[in-house]
Amino acid sequence: MNIKRNILLNAGPSTTTDTVKMAQVVPDICPREKEFASMMKDLRADLLKTVHADPQQYTSVLFCGSGTLNIDVCLNSLLPADKKVLVVNNGAYSTRAVEICEYYGLPHINLQFPVLERPDLDVVRKTLEENPDIALVYTTHNETGTGILNPIREIGALAHEFGAVFIVDTTSTLAMRPIDVQKDNIDFCMASAQKGLMAMTGLSFIIGRKDIIEASKDYPKRSYYCNLYLQYHFFEKTGEMHFTPPVQTIYATIQALKEYFAEGEEAKWARHTRVFNAIHKGLDELGFKDAVKREWQAGLVVSPIYPDDPNWDFEKVHDYCYERGYTIYPGKISTTNTFRLCALGAIDEDDITAFFKVFREALEHYNIAIPVVYND
């Protein structure tokens, strides 16, 4: 097997190992077989270990779909009648949670903060004080649109102080930046297999408190396919996913988890940090500015600002790099023109060094000044 190795610097799916790719090539199997259920049982247990969740207290529930499905499931399933969701929102991914609340007509407070800043915890506290009907507090760990790291441990502590359940979107940190559900005050977190785990698209999972899921049995039912209790209950009863699972992606995820535990939580985070630092070094050498304060960055996504150069054209630079095996990614900040370079995936420092050779070539090819120019 000789599979071309592309370096994906987008925010997921990420570059995978060949062994994970190959793990999908298996004999055909009906996922209702005991053999398959037993694989999923081990997979669910291993997922808990990635966030140090106690299996007595926490469970993991698998779904077929992309990561956004997890946000949908948590919000529509975990809100009791006559209660409210508080979304601590400083970016595109928390805004997605607000939109989900709007689609389901869930009572919610969209507590908005500037996208290039961290949420003000005093304002979060005040909102909780003034709204005793808040049952769910929701935020995003690493706002993938900007790369900002949110203070989840502190927000979780506030949620618990006011008797609310804390849900965190950890899609762009889980299995990369270490998470400990107990210490980080997390009741529910989530991810998809294609990001930190470096597996394939199509499998998403929620890790959360069993007692809260059990209690949600009697909450208003707002979705059928995306109900957390229904899926959890079916898993507990039969060991199977309620509806057809993404079979091949599950094989890939099992292999990816093996590789995750072999690399080790700390070593993997150290590798992502090396890649992140190499991205910064490369950008610094070319004169690029960051949209987000360096000390606030989660260590996984860098958002450089477009240079004020008449020759700058993101699409052209993208295509030049893409043709040579490197994928760079558009930004997601409405107020500033940025692009993104992410430290996800099975890549290391050397890949970033090689990328910056191609990136510099692209700038030269299109007569974009180096160092890049900014007007202010």
Ligand X SMILES: *Cc1c(COP(=O)(O)O)cnc(C)c1O
> Could you list the residues that contact ligand X (CB under 6 A)?
11-12, 66-68, 93, 140, 144, 169, 171-172, 192
- Count Cβ atoms within 10 A of the Cβ of residue 120 and give its class: 0-12 exposed, 13-18 middle, 19 or more buried: middle
Q: Please say which residue, 171 or 303, places its beta carbon nearer to ligand X.
A: 171
Cβ atoms 363, 317 nearer than 8 A: yes
Nearer to ligand X, 90 or 231 (CB): 90
Closest CB to ligand X among residues 83, 272: 272
CB of 140 to ligand X, least distance (A): 5
Cβ-closest position to ligand X? 67
> Please, what is the minimum distance in Å from the beta carbon of residue 200 to ligand X?
12
To ligand X, the closest distance from the beta carbon of 73 in angstroms equals 12
66 vs 223 by CB, closer to ligand X:
66
Q: Please calculate the CA angle 219-140-67 and round it to the nearest 5 degrees.
A: 70
* Geometric angle at alpha carbon 206, from 205 and 209, rounded to 5°: 150
Q: Which is nearer to ligand X, 134 or 301 (CB)?
A: 301
Which residues are bridge partners to 112 per DSSP?
89
Distances (CA, A) of 344 to 23, 44, 166, 193, 352: 20, 22, 26, 12, 12
The length of the chain in residues reads 376
How far does CA 322 lie from the centroid of its chain? 23
Do β-strands 58-64 and 84-89 pair in parallel, antiparallel, or remain unpaired?
Answer: unpaired
Q: How far is the CB of 192 from ligand X (least distance, A)?
A: 5
Nearest distance from residue 170's CB to ligand X, in Å? 8
**Of 194 and 255, which has the nearer Cβ to ligand X?**
194
Report in angstroms how near the CB of residue 66 gets to ligand X at its nearest.
3
Of 69 and 362, nearer to ligand X (C-beta) is: 69
> Cβ of residue 10: shortest distance to ligand X, in angstroms?
10
